[in-house]
Amino acid sequence: MEGSGPFFEDLAVGTKIRSKFGRTVTDADNIWFTLLAMDRNPIHFDKEYTNKHYSREPFNGRLVFNGIATLAIVNGLVNEYTSAGGIVISVDGVKFLKPVFAGDTLYAEVEVVESRPSKSRQGFGIVKTLTKGFNQKGEQVIEFYKTFMIRQKKS
């Protein structure tokens, strides 16, 4: 919606936001995303392969949910509170900390770690966030930094 936030001024350093809801992932999500993205790693779509090569903990022969899909979902869970209406400049420092499997529910929390007015675009600010994703057990599965440009409030 035109004119709606969030705005640069809403995202002061130290601001923390948790997603209002989670997203349960499925084998269909995993296989669809993996093949759409042309990812040819069979750990994401070939059950016989995972049974043969990844039969022990923590995999137990299960298909591993695609990490880039995990990144996208966790980002999306908090996007409306941070960079919706903004322009992503970079995603850095991505760490996949635990595997995600079909049936897991992902949750996200984000913290603003840097914030400054844009030097090159009047009326915009630059914000850097640290986003963490968790499964339904509260185990952290991913973290990453995202830097984006976002509008300032009109005076």
Residues 95-140 have pLDDT tens digits of 999 999 999 999 999 999 999 999 999 999 999 999 999 999 999 9
Phi, psi of 39 (to 5 degrees): -80, 115
> Are 68 and 44 contacting, i.e. CB atoms less than 8 angstroms apart?
no
CATH architecture entry for 8-151: Roll (3.10)
Q: Is 101 exposed, middle or buried (0-12, 13-18, 19+ CB in 10 A)?
A: middle
Q: Where are the domains of the chain?
A: 8-151
DSSP 51: H
Mean pLDDT along residues 6-14: 95
What is this structure's pTM?
0.93
